[in-house]
Amino acid sequence: MSPIKSGSGRIRQEARWVLGLALALAAVAAAQGTAPQLSTPLPPLTSPTGEASAPAPKPLTQSEQKSLGSIFTKSRPGSLRLEQCPVTGSCEPPDGEPDGLGSAFVIESGANGTLALTAYHVVFGAKKLVAVTLDKARYPVTVLGYDDGHDVALLKINVPTGRNLSVLPLAAAMPKVGQSALAIGNGNGDFLVSKTGRLTALNVAASRADFPPGTLELTAPLVPGDSGGPILNAQGEVMGIVSYISAMPTPFGIATRSSYAVPVTKNAPILAQLRGGLKVDAPVIGLRSFGNGTIADEYFPTLGLGTMSGVVFSSVTRGGPADKAGLRPLKPLKTDQNGIPTRLSGDVITAINGVRIRSFDELLSAVRARQVGDVIKLSVVRDGKPIPDLSLRLGPRTITADEQP
């Protein structure tokens, strides 16, 4: 679940080319009776590695709903709307609008300043952040620390001296499956609204390599804009930070199947580390992919990419590890009378440090298992022929910040 953010003209142009390539390859396959596997559905429900999911969670009782309603009223003042604003100009209507939108919540406010927690992907790449409180007051925000892999960030809310904001208490212990849960967020542009549900699993394994591990699973129907907001228990304590959702497309948009939150407790070691300025970036190669970065095996020879399937990509980050190593994205080489590519040029990544990879998610998993600064070797097929292994040093994900769509 990512912030709603506008891309640059260059990115929009690239996205159109990538979509065109995907549709063209699909057309090639359709003419031959089979469609290449260019994309996957939205992340499916994940399987927890810890406590088992409840197969059919009970709906909230009237008593639970009433209790959570009271908690919402009490906790709403400690919740925040986060806006990614243009560097120049306003993001406050009617003069402008935010480039991105998310949620956060206050965990400390007093003589030592005002601190808040959010999901890191909400603030990733932001040049200018503003926090909006329940009374519509607006305050500039500074990112003090973050852990990209666990999707959590600590913020300083720059309120005037002498003003304190309402604080949400953190839970002392991990929750249990079956507990009622309240989320407060800004989904779909709403302002600090509530959504309720029930916890269905703990310690859930990430369904994708770029999602945080060990999350809480709940039934609350969260949507983009709720990211970074608090998940509260029946005692009004924060037990998680909204991170991502599992959803399926519908004719009217997306339908949330399950929501996931990064667990948090008041004695969690990560909080002290973030207060100390911890900034942990996820490692990247600096590639952008269409779909899941795969084409059905039988189409590699047809398109001139060789007989060994692997990971294909649409662009490289300028000045990033892949760019410095000389990796080449796919480009149409020949097209038919309808403009459909019949031959492609570019690189296919087939292994990392000798370990075979076949999909972009496998590539992502192999990279995320390492650290920024690690050197890896890529086995590559270029224009249908193997080339000597390419060595590159992994960079921080911050190098891709300007490429976020």
Which CATH fold would you assign to the domain 43-276? Thrombin, subunit H (2.40.10)
Tell me the pLDDT of the chain averaged across its residues. Answer: 85
Rounded to 5 degrees, φ, ψ at 300 are -60, -50
Residues 247-292 have pLDDT tens digits of: 777 777 667 789 999 999 999 999 999 999 999 999 999 998 865 5
Max avg pLDDT among 164-178, 326-340, 389-403: 164-178
Domain ranges of the chain: 9-39+282-403, 43-276
CB-facing half-sphere around the CA of 17: CA atoms within 13 A:
15
Q: Over 70: is that where the pLDDT of 22 sits?
A: no
Long-range contacts of 72-75 (CB under 8 A, 24+ apart): 72/182, 72/184, 72/194, 74/236, 75/168, 75/182, 75/184, 75/230, 75/232, 75/236
Query: Cβ distance 102 to 264 under 8 Å?
Result: no
pLDDT band at 207 (very low <50, low <70, confident <90, very high): confident
State the Cα–Cα distance between residues 156 and 140, nearest whole angstrom. 9
pLDDT of 336 reads 87
Q: Over 90: is that where the pLDDT of 324 sits?
A: yes
CATH code for the structural domain at 9-39+282-403: 2.30.42.10
Residues 65-107 have pLDDT tens digits of: 999 999 999 999 999 999 999 988 888 878 888 999 999 999 9
State the Cα–Cα distance between residues 82 and 100, nearest whole angstrom. 8
Read off the pLDDT of each residue in 169-190 and give the average, rounded to a whole number: 96
% of the chain surpassing 90 pLDDT: 69
Q: Over 70: is that where the pLDDT of 217 sits?
A: yes
Q: 55 or 388, which is more confident?
A: 388
Q: Tell which residue, 397, 151, 375, has the closest CA to residue 288.
A: 397
Residues 98-118 have pLDDT tens digits of: 999 999 999 999 988 999 999
Residues 296-307 have pLDDT tens digits of: 888 899 999 999
Query: Cβ distance 131 to 138 under 8 Å?
Result: yes
Q: Across 158-192, where does the E strand assignment appear?
A: 180-185
pLDDT of 34 reads 35
Residues in CB range of 28: below 8 A, 6 or more apart:
36, 299, 302, 303, 340, 341, 342
CA R_g for the chain: 23
